[in-house]
Structure 1
């Protein structure tokens, strides 16, 4: 299993403009993470792993949002039932990180990445930092630069939860 120290090395080796923040508390929810770093819940981003026809795809969205699988299905031109949220075991196998700590890059496998445009509305966001007590502070444009993410409306017909 990869840890936040692996992510820190990857960030340094690839000259990425980001800060890894170690927290004194665990942040199991978006609200907890926002409170821990003193920001809005919309600036906490989720890095979720989906399987599209069995192939891994990362989707990044604001933590207060719910991804609509139909948006991913339409992008890949497959039926909605061909898009599944990966379980904890698959997340660990593909990314190297546990659910809730997955960063947007530095994963065990190179994975196609999609990012919701609402993430790009912020100048700075906080993503998984490779451990349950770490967050990654980074600009959304840097995420796109590093991952080559495709900007795609991931909410589709789903509504914001905030």
Structure 2
């Protein structure tokens, strides 16, 4: 199955692997990791946050991580941030929450942040846009594909 995320990577010449898991798998990075034989931290959560100024930004974290609020606020330059409404996420990305690819759909100027902890792995898994389809990609290739800024979002110590 060729998906827009695959086409994007192919056109950019960015290497990746395609893996599949059962679409009956329960949602969540831990379940995807188990199904594919990876660590939970290697499965990337793609979250869309909204700032008080109305800006939306993509935030990528390992499946076993949560943001330190102050770090994310500093990175986004906003004192008030929240997860974007799922309907707004669908409108902006074209994807429902749960399998948003971290590249190909962003308009010019859309900010993407990748947590530094993700760079410690050789391979990462990202959603391909359809539940049950996963893209395996190196951190550097993910940064290239997404145009992400690498920022500490999860570690309390700098």
* Range into which the TM-score falls when normalised by the shorter chain: 0.7 to 0.9
The residue number in structure 2 matching 1:75 is 75
Structure 2 contact 99–129 (Cα < 8 Å) conserved: yes
Q: Which runs of 5+ in 2 are unaligned?
A: none
What are the within-5 Å matches in structure 2 for residues 2-151 of structure 1?
Answer: 5-27=3-25, 28-52=27-51, 53-79=53-79, 81=80, 83-110=81-108, 111-151=110-150
TM-score (norm 1): 0.85
Cα distance in 1 for residues equivalent to 2:88 and 2:151: 24
Q: Which runs of 5+ in 1 are unaligned?
A: 158-162
Structure 1 contact 4–130 (Cα < 8 Å) conserved: no
Cα distance in 1 for residues equivalent to 2:143 and 2:89: 21
Structure 1 contact 94–109 (Cα < 8 Å) conserved: no
TM-score (norm 2): 0.87
- Root-mean-square deviation over aligned CA pairs: 2.0
Partner-residue secondary structure (3-state), 2:126:
strand
- Superposition misfits of 4+ residues, deviation over 3 angstroms: none
